[in-house]
Amino acid sequence: MVPGEPAGCRLLDASHDINTNNMSADNLIQFGKDLKAFPDLPFKMRNSLPSHPLFEPERIKKLLRTVPRRHIEIRMVQTRDTNDQKYARGQKLDDADPVEAFERLEEVPTWMLVHESWIHDRDYNDLVKAYVAELAGHCEEMQGGIYDIGCWLFLSSKSSVVHFHSDPDQSFLNQVKGSKTVYTYPARILPESAVENLVRSSDQGAVSYVPEYEKSLNPPVVLKPGDSVFLPLYGPHRVINDDVPCISWNVGFNTRKSLRRKKIHLVNLELRKFGLPVSSYDRSHTVDTLKHFAYFGFRVKNKLQRLMGIGATAK
């Protein structure tokens, strides 16, 4: 068990609880036992990012000036004191200046998410590629191909209560500065239609909180600087910061296995639009394989409909 972890915390495998700091200066991560495939449960590893120059305040400000404003999400956020336990997304602050918001994190409860840094800043692009390459050396599932690689920088005020959501990929959340607790839930608690909307839209808002989900809560995971946690594919999660501003860096990606699942959910979405009965993912391997092939047919159909000016996708 990791010191400071809530009593009774059970992660995937004790071999993944890395407590030591004996990481080589060249390593970005320190992994436990190598994996064949990514699991449905979160697990921890270590990262060396707290000492990385890309996460120094002045370098972050440079990034905030480089990434186009529309790719920097700034929202009001609830705090431990104002937490209404609905875990909804805070109001978006479209007029806020990113550098100023970052500088005022200590005074104004704010949650910031920098999208597309790997597209607009070569250094972050190099870093995420190096990180994923290291990961791939520890997980066989990644060796068949890695797709949709991206990284997201989170800057948040002390005591922030971050909204409940799922991401459209699997990812590692790396703690750089400050500490927080991550609350995760199994993806199976979500209605299939919510997962399909998440996959279609890539919008975290496709998934909303239901208090009932607390019955399925996984053991909470405490992240301190240099800790990382694996967030399983489509698994919902929410976060509460400790009493200090936080910097976290998320690295997300798809593998051939997760892309196959994504395509099956997209086929299910199409079937649902036709009013046809839909069997959920992973109910039958044969049915899922047929749907995987059907995906390419639906893609052609949607492309033709778009070319002919016929609305293909439901909103």
Would you tell me which residues interact with Fe ion (CB under 5 A)?
167
The answer to whether the CB of 206 falls within 8 A of the CB of 197 is yes
- Rounded to a whole number of angstroms, the minimum distance from the CB of residue 166 to Fe ion is 7
- Rounded to a whole number of angstroms, the minimum distance from the CB of residue 165 to Fe ion is 6
| Closest C-alpha among 274, 278, 74, 60 to residue 157 | 74
The answer to whether the CB of 278 falls within 8 A of the CB of 272 is yes
Report the Cα–Cα distance between both ends of the chain, in Å, rounded.
45
- Rounded to a whole number of angstroms, the minimum distance from the CB of residue 87 to Fe ion is 12
Of 183 and 295, nearer to Fe ion (C-beta) is: 183
Of 55 and 172, nearer to Fe ion (C-beta) is: 172
Structure tokens at 295: 């995906």
- Inter-axis angle of helices 256-273 and 192-201, nearest 10: 110
Of 235 and 270, nearer to Fe ion (C-beta) is: 235
- The SS3 of residue 61 is helix
- Rounded to a whole number of angstroms, the minimum distance from the CB of residue 265 to Fe ion is 18
| Closest C-alpha among 94, 112, 92, 93 to residue 102 | 112
- Rounded to a whole number of angstroms, the minimum distance from the CB of residue 283 to Fe ion is 26
The answer to whether the CB of 196 falls within 8 A of the CB of 265 is yes
Instruction: Give the C-alpha separation, 43 to 38, whole Å.
Output: 10
Of 167 and 196, nearer to Fe ion (C-beta) is: 167
Of 35 and 233, nearer to Fe ion (C-beta) is: 233
- Rounded to a whole number of angstroms, the minimum distance from the CB of residue 56 to Fe ion is 24
Identity of the amino acid at 90: G
Q: Which residue is nearest to Fe ion (CB)?
A: 167
Of 16 and 238, nearer to Fe ion (C-beta) is: 238
Strands 44-47 and 227-231: antiparallel
